[in-house]
Structure 1
Amino acid sequence: MTGSQPLVVHITGARPNFPKAAPVIAALAEHPVRQLLVHTGQHYDERMSEVFFRQLGLPEPDVNLGVGSGPHGAQTAATIVGLEELFTAERPDLVVVYGDVNSTVAAALVASKMGIPLAHVEAGLRSFDMTMPEEINRLVTDRLSDLLLVTSPDAIAHLGNEGVHPDKIHLVGNPMIDTLLRHLDALDTAAVADSVGLDRTEPYLVATLHRPGNVDDPADVAELVRAVHAVADQVRVVIPLHPRGRGRLEQAGFMDHDNLLVIDPLGYVEFLGLVRGAAAVVTDSGGVQEETTVMGVPCLTLRPNTERPVTITHGTNQLITRASLPAAVADVLAAGPAEPGTTPVPPLWDGHAGPRIAAVLAASLGV
């Protein structure tokens, strides 16, 4: 590669970013550009980041800022300082950010203030819940972006309503689904079930719970514990427990149920292997709503809203409350698994979002 080739800098910082970035980086390698991969280190646990790089075939990060955990302000500020130094030294021709984490909005602020073009992968998603830090990150990042790469038609409508010029918006599909489809044959449900100590003859649920609305307030935590225990009265529940909120859940007696299996966070392939074999998933995560949609696994989202409504209209997802969770699980168990191929999948969630995104980025650079 020569120095005359434009430089594209990809910013990743947390576990959800990596499966989105991998197909874009791979596809962009087919174009005459230089690429620099930055890991801000927002997720610093090996199980939460480095294992993803290995499993997804991502190159080792060229730069790791080592920001680590902390309050939103401190984490975002440390990322801004590190990226400003990096962009001053390297002067990218284009910065690409993913999703809605603090690293994303930090990079958007730095690139915008330095006059560097910015592309946002997964633009336009809206929960309309301003109590979610991620919603603020989405709004700010989209406002500052020059290229808005959207995963679903509803995102186009949101951006249009916010006054974004149509020329900036590109419906490209979902690169995270590229990664899922690429690894689908490698998802070994039996192996991961054995490794975590599940009885494969019995149905099980997978739960992922870490959002502030569920695990920050003691009253919410107490209600969540009661609801999940009522679910565990019906079926085995496996929970790869996120570090966020773990202490509060433990103090509230979350682990005190014989049918609840709490495990450490899993790698990408292992986690999706576990999900693929589940009777259902209970989650407050964003990406899991999308992955279950494509795999046809019933998803019960424990939130009052979702920025991914396409997973409800074209998938297996439904919004539930803590109070309605036990009954919703009973209904899913009674209904049994859907016939393969009967669940609608959103448009362009076909495994080719990475090349579409790369083509838009390359065209913007004139290569």
Structure 2
Amino acid sequence: MHADKLIQLLTIIGTRPQIIKSAAVSRVIRKDFSNQMEEWVVHTGQHYDNTLSQVFFDELDIPMPRYNLAAGSDSGSRQTAKMIAGLDAVMTEKQFDGVLLYGDTNSTLAGAIAAAQHGLPVFHVEAGLRSFDRTMPEEMNRIVCDHLSNICFAPTNNAYEQLVQEGLDDSRPHFADNRKRELVESGDVMYDNCLYYAEKRSDPVRMLHQLQLQTDGYVLATIHRKNNTDCPDRLEQILLALSDIARDRHLPVVLPLHPRTRKAMEKLPHCSTMHLQMLPPAGYLAMAELERNARVVITDSGGVQKEAFFYERPCVILRSETEWTEIVHHGAGILADADRMRIVDAYDAITGRAIHFPPLFGDGHAAENIVRHIVQYITGDNN
């Protein structure tokens, strides 16, 4: 490409966590690379609830997407097909130099397929994560996206080594431009955000006071994964465990409710939640404060597991597996699935142990690392 031409980078997002992750990279592009790159953001509309998306664009000062595909809710295959068709139209309308993807959602999968079909370089942030459960849609999405990517940005050393084990570091050319795939241990963009927004905290004491909470004096819980919310037995087991902890350990359990969770709870009229302090969905900064000040975090979210680790909070994981295996390996998280007794036992175990939180997720400059490698790949300038 001509030296005086700005790189045209298409960023694809569609869910709340992707909006948050993209904030770190978009911030770096605007601040340090605006003379080399122009970013075009497309929102697939995978999260279509305004409280889960619009608030984050405003709060994190992220530019509004130039495109919105409004894919909405549907079965996984139909939703992904809608996204691929919409992205195909975007990529046909304008010539891009590369496509940036985050995580493991259907938006990620659709972006990887559409970009590959257009012969565009694919750059995948959060590459190499594996839960080793291929019944999970997210696991299938991760694997396909990594194998279609020109650069795999691994957030941790474990993730990097997983890519090597899968043979993605071989020296053979894989793409139309006769280039080999690159693996980069970039660090984690969510850790970048953790450090950046920590400097912009407003008045956390006031927020906790308004909720009648004290630092280290409550448990934060989140439930949003489909296999937990759409299975009444699993959801009931989780809610009963949270109620047990609130009642018997004499700690408030705070539960910001995902819309899917609230709807599912309405189908459990005999499951009492009187001991739980339920809140509407929290914005990113409010959620960060709740995580930072909790005694323990109980969650089925991969992102919340990780943020708990950033803030050195122990975590009980409402799953039988996790893609963030390092957290469990270092004793900062316990897998409890959706079993009432296992959740309560995990809470007791993790509050009774000393935990070390080593620097697993980089140095807070992952976004700079990512953008620099993208520029070098597209321009061919490795200086």
Corresponding residue for residue 40 of structure 1: 44
Larger RCO, structures 1/2 (Cα 8 Å, 6+ apart): 1
Instruction: For 2:127 and 2:255, locate their aligned partners in 1 and report how far apart those are by CA, in whole Å.
Output: 30
Aligned AA for 1:343?
F
Give yes or no for the alignment of 1:17 onto 2:18.
Answer: yes
The CA deviation at 1:131 is 1.8
Native 8 Å contact 2:123 2:149 kept in 1: yes
| Residue 244 of structure 1: how far off its partner (Å) | 2.1
Take 1:353 and 1:142, find their aligned partners in 2: how far apart are those partners?
A: 18
Question: Pick from 140, 143, 156: which aligns with 2:144?
Answer: 140
Tell me which moved more, 208-217 or 89-98. 208-217
Choose which of 142, 155, 176 in structure 2 pairs with 1:151. Answer: 155
SS of residue in 2 equivalent to 1:307: coil
Which position in structure 1 is the counterpart of 2:89?
A: 85
- Tell me the CA shift for residue 334 of structure 1: 5.2
Which residue type is aligned with residue 168 of structure 2?
V
Distance in 2 (CA, whole Å) between partners of 1:253 and 1:133 is 30
The CA deviation at 1:21 is 1.2
Q: 1:296 to 1:20 in 2, by over 3 A?
A: same
For normalisation by structure 1, the TM-score amounts to 0.92
Residues 282, 276 of structure 1: alpha-carbon distance in 2 compared, 3 angstrom cutoff: same
The DSSP-based 3-state class of the residue aligned with 2:278 is strand
Segments of 5+ residues of structure 1 without an aligned counterpart are: none
Report the Cα offset of residue 284 of structure 1: 0.4
Q: In structure 2, list runs of 5 or more residues that go unmatched.
A: 171-180
Match of 1:230 in 2: 244
Task: Indicate yes or no: 2:117 matched with 1:113.
Answer: yes
Name the residue aligned to 1:189.
Answer: 204
Identity of aligned residues (%): 36
Cα offset, 1:201, TM superposition: 7.8
What is the Cα deviation at residue 312 of structure 1? 2.7
The equivalent of 1:178 in structure 2 is 192
What is the alpha-carbon distance in structure 1 between the residues aligned to residue 165 and residue 283 of structure 2? 38
Confirm whether residue 351 of structure 1 aligns to residue 352 of structure 2.
no
Q: Deviations over 1:150-172 (max 9, x none)?
A: 10111122212222125510001
Task: Please show how residues 1-367 of structure 1 align to structure 2 within 5 Å.
Answer: 4-29=5-30, 30-31=32-33, 32-165=36-169, 168-187=182-201, 188-195=203-210, 197-200=211-214, 203-233=217-247, 234=249, 235-253=251-269, 256-314=272-330, 316-321=332-337, 322=339, 323-333=341-351, 343-348=357-362, 350-366=363-379
Are the counterparts in 2 of residues 296 and 315 from structure 1 also a CA contact under 8 Å? Answer: no
Deviations 1:139-185 (A, max 9, x none): 11111111100101111222122221255100010011101111113
* Residue aligned with 1:246, SS: helix
Question: Cα distance, 1:212 vs. partner?
Answer: 2.8
Q: Whole-Å Cα distance in 1 between the matches of residues 348 and 264 of structure 2?
A: 27
Whether the aligned pair in 2 keeps the contact of 1:315 and 1:346 (CA below 8 Å) is no
RMSD between aligned residues: 2.2
Count of residues in Structure 1 that have an aligned counterpart in Structure 2 = 361
In structure 1, C-alpha distance between the alignment counterparts of 2:236 and 2:128, rounded to whole Å:
34
